[in-house]
Amino acid sequence: MNIKAIDTRGFWKVNKDYKVSRVKVDGAEIIIIDDFLVNPERVRDFILDAPAPMWKHKEGGYNFKKYYDCRNSIALHHREFFEIEGAIRKEAGKAVYFAKTPNYCRDDVVITNIFQNIKGNPHDGIPIPHEDGRIQGGLLYLNHDDEVQFKTGTAFYKSKFNGIANTNKLGKLEKRAVDDFTLNSGIEEDGYDYYLHDWKKFWEPAGFIQSKFNRLLMWPGDIYHGAYHGSEDFVDYPRVNQCFFLEDDSKRRYDDY
């Protein structure tokens, strides 16, 4: 039996003619880059050909019972993402770099985000809103446009605790208070259930970006966000994304970040 060898050089080449648009959510800039890669089909096939290991789960929870929530971290030998880092730095207008911590995306690791429902989307729930701390988040949409409904993509939310979507506005004690509220209300992203079913008690919509093939979405990680699914999406096919996490040293204000 032969190994399934693949030469990934050039897979993540950035299209020089990409198109940029920007929107604001609670004062923070969200950057949308369309037609981002030259070879997005190669990246999509690379992700779909790899096994999809279980991601967040908790004993007694629903992962691999009601849905498959999976993630891969595939190491590469060379800096495939050099052009991506440069493009993100250019459009963000600041010195950001691929995060070096093990939980985030180094410049030689492909992080995938693969999800598929087993029993269909619950009509009373949304993927749990969360924030990722003081990093720059990025998501490359790799579902073909005919695979998803119009209302599928990434949503941003305001907490009903304080009316804030952008936690960068908060001081240290204010941030600790909202984190305690999230924990004590049982609405943190802990791996037990991918969906929050009584979400309207705690959150209100603050913005939405539509999924589009070969679109890169970039946002400050300290904004509350989550995937958003159309009612029939990701049952007969998976959600396919590549994640990026970049560090911005100017935002490292707290000891716990």
Tell me the pLDDT tens digit for each residue of 170-185.
999 999 999 999 989 9
Its pTM stands at: 0.91
- Is pLDDT of 88 > 90? no
Tell me the pLDDT tens digit for each residue of 139-153.
999 999 988 877 899
DSSP letters, the chain, are: --------TTTTPBPTT-EEEEEEETTEEEEEEES-BS-HHHHHHHHHHS---B-S--TT--BTTTEEEE--EEE-SS-TTHHHHHHHHHHHTS--EE--STTS--TTEEEEEEEEESS---TT-EEPPB---SEEEEEEE-S-GGGS-TT-EEEEEEETTTS-SBGGGS-HHHHHHHHHHHHHTT-S--SS-SEETTGGGTEEEEEEEE--TTEEEEEETTB-EEEE--TTTTSSS-EEEEEEEEE-GGG--STT-
**At the topology level of CATH, where does 20-251 sit?**
Jelly Rolls (2.60.120)
- Is pLDDT of 96 > 80? no
Going from N- to C-terminal start, the domains of the chain cover 20-251
- Is pLDDT of 254 > 50? no
